A = this chain, B = another copy of it.
């Protein structure tokens, strides 16, 4: 047990929110033992997992250094903030409070105001509506991803943007940006008019921390 990694991440290869945690841990040089929770097979509803996260969702993270906390850490942005506090370097947030707020706001624009709309639980609810089919789902996904990324593009015209969303080092907002792009690719959705977003995504993908977290490179991904 003493040789086990400090962190245990409950994960599934293709989820956007799990990708965020993987990138953050990679950037900070933290290792996690991954336990796969196969969402297609419904493993998130197993009683043992529900004890860790009653919301039946991933990512979920255990920090064994925190003792036996009983429940796992959940919600990707809360996990990123946690990692930032227990392993501050390299930082995912700038040091100035106003700049930190900008990065958090850009992150929430994607993680709170964009990504939730395109999750399976929303598709399930929409499918109850008359005539809702695969084409309607693709239109819905496209609408929200386009709204989110074009909104981000406008905000990246603000002062503060550099090689990455804020300054010249990758941080929380870049992780959220990339987490939307990787999902967009899985769904084969295209968005026009986002040159700054695309430039930053290319800068992210040039870094091993991002490249190694790519959904298609994870355990369980289709070959």
Question: Which A residues have a C-beta under 8 Å from some C-beta of B?
Answer: 54-55, 63, 66, 69-71, 73-75, 77-79, 81-82, 85-86, 97-98, 100-102, 104-105, 107-109, 111-113, 116-117, 121-122, 125, 129-132, 136, 140, 143, 147, 151, 154-155, 157-159
Q: How far is the CA of A155 from the CA of B70 in the complex (A)?
A: 12
Q: Do A85 and B73 touch (CB < 8 A)? A: no
Number of copies: 2
Who on chain B is nearest to A76 by CB?
B108
The answer, among B82, B105, B158, for a CB contact under 8 Å with A78, is B105
Who on chain B is nearest to A154 by CB?
B54
Q: How far is the CA of A86 from the CA of B113 in the complex (A)?
A: 25
- List residues of chain B with CB within 8 A of the CB of A132: 129
Q: Do A81 and B55 touch (CB < 8 A)? A: no
Q: Do B63 and A98 touch (CB < 8 A)? A: yes
- List residues of chain B with CB within 8 A of the CB of A113: 75, 116
Q: Do A108 and B112 touch (CB < 8 A)? A: yes
Q: How far is the CA of A113 from the CA of B125 in the complex (A)?
A: 14
